[in-house]
Amino acid sequence: MHRWINRVAVLGVGVRFPLVLLALATLMSGCQSTSTQDDPMAGLRCWAFRDEASITREQVDYIQDRSDKGNLKCKIVLGNLYERGHGVSRDIPKAKALYQAVADVDEQAYLFLADLAQSGLDGPPDYVKARQFYRRAAAIKDSASAELGLAKLMEEGKGGPQDQQGALALYLSATRSSFGEAWEGIQRLRASGVTLSAEQEQRYNQVWVGIAQSRLKRRMWRVQDEVSAVFKPGPEARHVIVKVQYQQGSALPQLSIEHGSGDSAMDQAVLKGLGEYRFAGEPLLPQGRKTWEVLADVHLKSR
């Protein structure tokens, strides 16, 4: 395995906001009068309305209308509203019928059928059907939820034989971060004695490193803005390069200055800010290694 040292640089944060605002403006533009066939945003709106804590009558009507006009995503969302009793009276048979009407065309509906099959809301939990439905849903690209559901059943031996190696493969495919249900599933299986192949270790470490770096970047953005606001270093960028080291068994980073800004107070402020960073989960370190390192290059300048 290559020496585990990388560089994370933060050049600025201004460009992040217009993209976010544009996405929100498009998504939340409401129930505009465009036909289902001509409106590619209809499905996204339905999904957004589904997660509203206090869904309105107008939003339910929008979902119902788009469902009636053939939008498959909106039909799935309508089924989920009936399953949860969210904005409508709970009606499990109606929810199931809506999912089934979509399933052969949009396999995402099988995820909802699988959840329903093992929930006990539609009679005794049917783990055999749940497995079958999760497998169908898992055939879709980026189907982490279905992979996670199937992995749990395989890990526990519900609805079929216990298959810990199969569950491990699914958890690894489903995990997007070094925390959460899929990651916890991997840790349970490792603790029970299940071993990872070299390829699986690589996937595991790629996820861990990706999350470690992305979380560190967010912390660096905060530190960059806060320290620049206090010290006002001027228009020319000043760099503080910090070695951030993971030590086996500890979420607390070990920090040291690799290259200072020329102002010790500014350097110490950067160290203090980065000191709030924590590693999530733990990597699988090479034999004999107990640390992993990354260089954090913080650019400081006045706006």
Does residue 9 fall inside a structural domain?
Answer: no
Quick check: is 194 in a domain?
Answer: no
At 18 the pLDDT is 35
Work out the angle between the directed axes of helices 109-119 and 144-156 (0-180°, nearest 10).
30
Looking at the structure, tell me whether residues 55 and 130 fall in a common domain: yes
- Claim to verify: residue 99 and residue 223 sit in the same structural domain: no
What integer pLDDT is reported at residue 233 of this predicted model?
87
Domain at 33, CATH number: 1.25.40.10
- Considering 163, 183, 208, which residue would you say is the last residue of a domain? 163
Cβ 301 vs Cβ 228: under 8 Å: yes
Q: What is the pLDDT of residue 7?
A: 57
- Please tell me whether residues 36 and 159 are part of one structural domain: yes
159 shares its domain with 228: no
Q: First vs last Cα of the chain: how many Å apart?
A: 41
Within this chain, do residues 30 and 144 fall inside the same structural domain, yes or no?
yes
In a domain, 179, yes or no: no
Place of tokens 């939008």: 71
Pairing of strands 291-300, 254-259: unpaired
Domain shared by 147 and 75, yes or no: yes
What Å distances lie between residue 71 and 41, 62, 91, CA to CA?
11, 11, 20
Domain count, the chain: 2
155 and 88 inside one domain: yes
Supply the range of the domain harboring residue 249: 218-300
What pLDDT is stored for residue 245 in this prediction? Answer: 98
| Cα 152 to Cα 170: distance, rounded to the nearest angstrom | 9
Q: Are residues 33 and 154 in the same domain?
A: yes
Residues 149 and 31 in one domain: yes
Q: Are residue 154 and residue 251 in the same domain, yes or no? A: no
Determine, yes or no, domain membership for 168: no
Q: Which two tokens stand for residue 245?
A: 């080291």
291 within 8 A of 276, measured Cβ to Cβ? no
Contact 151, 182 (CB under 8 A): yes
In a domain, 201, yes or no: no
Which of 124, 147, 163 lies at the terminal end of a domain, its last residue? Answer: 163
Query: Per-residue pLDDT for the chain (303 aa), expressed as one digit of tens each?
Result: 333 445 565 433 333 333 333 333 334 444 444 444 457 799 999 999 998 999 999 999 999 999 999 999 999 999 999 999 999 999 999 999 999 999 989 999 999 999 999 999 999 999 999 999 999 999 887 799 999 999 999 999 999 999 999 999 999 999 999 999 999 999 999 999 999 999 999 999 999 999 999 999 999 999 999 999 999 988 888 999 999 999 999 999 999 999 999 999 999 999 999 999 999 999 999 999 999 999 999 999 876
32 and 159 within one domain: yes
Give dist(CA 75, CA 22) in Å, integer.
26
**Among the three residues 163, 193, 228, which one is the final residue of a domain in this structure?**
163
pLDDT at site 19? 32
**Is 3 buried (19+), middle (13-18) or exposed (0-12) by CB count in 10 A?**
exposed
Residues 146 and 239 in one domain: no
Residue 39 belongs to some domain of the structure: yes
User: What's the CA gap between 7 and 239, in Å, rounded?
Assistant: 13
CB-count burial class (<10 Å; 0-12, 13-18, 19+) for 55: middle
Let me know if residue 288 belongs to a domain.
yes
As a whole number of angstroms, the distance between CA 224 and CA 12 comes to: 9
Residue 195 within a domain? no
The conformational region for residue 263 under phi > 0 = left, psi -120 to 50 = alpha, else beta, is beta
What confidence score (pLDDT) does residue 253 get?
Answer: 98
Identify the three-state secondary structure at position 117: helix
